[in-house]
């Protein structure tokens, strides 16, 4: 499959001899990125095969091939637009995701403001570092779903 895609893209690119026209389409850029990531991933897998003492080559190859797979499957969505049923459905899903992103932005602003304000009220002398930021946002996230960590908030034992 890779050979077919690679040869088709190279024929398309060199047939006209115009690189700017070829790369003016966003899907052609996605195709070339997918091909390039596959070549990088396959090369890194070959290096990992001969250099078995270090796992870093295998991890980098796996990462490159995973990103390539994501890009390739997103590219397959382009083929759905020509289908009479799937085309409007994909278009509707993309528009819904754009509206959802606006909502998630508003939710993130409210979430972060609540997290910072509640932490400042409960722990006025706490030091701000990456550890505190992680648990501050994590605690506020779970509080949205009803997990209030009452053992941390409670001031003391009542008798």
pLDDT tops 80 at residue 6: no
Per-residue pLDDT tens over the stretch 73-87: 888 888 888 888 888
Q: What's the DSSP call for residue 143?
A: H
Q: Return phi, psi of residue 67, to 5°.
A: -65, -40
First to last CA, the chain: 72
State whether residue 1 is helix, strand or coil.
Answer: coil
**pTM of this prediction exceeds 0.85:** no
CA distance 23 to 28: 6
Tens-digit pLDDT profile for residues 88-122:
888 899 899 999 999 999 999 999 999 999 888 98
Domain boundaries, the chain: 1-80, 84-159
Decide if 11 contacts 31 (C-beta within 8 A): no
């Amino acid at each position: 499959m890779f050979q077919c895609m690679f040869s088709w893209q190279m024929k398309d690119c060199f047939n006209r001899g115009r690189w700017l026209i070829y790369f003016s389409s966003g899907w052609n850029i996605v195709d070339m990125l997918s091909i390039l990531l596959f070549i990088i991933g396959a090369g890194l897998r070959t290096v990992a095969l001969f250099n078995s003492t270090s796992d870093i080559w295998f991890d980098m190859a796996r990462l490159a091939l995973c990103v390539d797979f994501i890009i390739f499957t997103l590219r397959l969505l382009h083929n759905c637009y020509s289908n009479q049923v799937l085309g409007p459905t994909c278009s509707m899903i993309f528009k819904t995701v754009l509206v959802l992103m606006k909502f998630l932005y508003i939710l993130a602003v409210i979430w972060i403001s609540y997290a910072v304000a509640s932490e400042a009220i409960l722990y006025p002398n706490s030091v701000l570092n990456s550890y505190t930021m992680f648990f501050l946002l994590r605690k506020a996230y779970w509080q949205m779903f009803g997990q209030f960590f009452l053992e941390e908030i409670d001031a003391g034992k009542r008798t």
